[in-house]
Amino acid sequence: MKRPLPYALGLVALGGLAYLALPAQTDTASAAPAEGDPIVEITLPDTLSPTAQLGQRAFNAVCADCHGENATGKLGFGPPLIHKIYEPSHHGDMAFVIAAARGVRAHHWRFGDMPAQPGVTPGEVKTIIAFVREVQRANGID
């Protein structure tokens, strides 16, 4: 009569080894980005020009609620401006001026239309553009 216990123990040991050899799976629910998270990762320049520094402050006060801190986008709210779609040859500076003054219909992203920003002065828009362009250049977008 054969004893099944050694075979069963061998199978359990083999199963345990196989379990340990498999790569650990991550919890995809906790790894998934959440609403409000940045859409892109960027590198900030070591220094910003004085105009871009003013623009960064204006951007954070007016634009960051939708476009994220440092224009990285905000999941569920608005697109990143540090993105090749907004390179100067595709969306020139005037596109930013018009977007702030008149708003813009959604056309590249599915965040909805951007409303006009009547509280932003033309001078502030110029500084915001300087900030965005300097950060774009630091990220290879020019």
Inform me whether the pLDDT recorded for 73 exceeds 80.
yes
Average pLDDT value for residue range 27-44: 82
What is the C-alpha separation between 127 and 131, in angstroms, rounded? 6
- Kindly give the interhelix angle for 122-138 and 50-62, rounded to the nearest 10 degrees: 110
Centre a 10 Å sphere on the Cβ of residue 102 and count the other Cβ atoms it contains: 11
Least confident of 22-26, 66-70, 85-89: 22-26
CATH of domain 50-138: 1.10.760.10
Q: How high does pLDDT run on average in the chain? A: 87
Average pLDDT value for residue range 67-85: 96
User: 74 forms bridges with which residues in the sheet?
Assistant: 78
What is the pTM for the complete model shown? 0.77
Average pLDDT value for residue range 50-76: 97
Domain map of the chain by residue range?
A: 50-138
Inform me whether the pLDDT recorded for 17 exceeds 70.
no
Determine the pLDDT at residue 132.
Answer: 98
- The model's confidence at residue 106, banded by pLDDT at 50, 70 and 90, is very high
Determine the pLDDT at residue 52.
Answer: 98
Q: Which residues contact 112 (CB under 8 A, 6 or more apart)?
A: 106
Half-sphere exposure of residue 32, counting CA atoms within 13 Å on the CB side? 5
Determine the pLDDT at residue 28.
Answer: 47
Determine the pLDDT at residue 133.
Answer: 98
Determine the pLDDT at residue 24.
Answer: 53
- The model's confidence at residue 32, banded by pLDDT at 50, 70 and 90, is confident
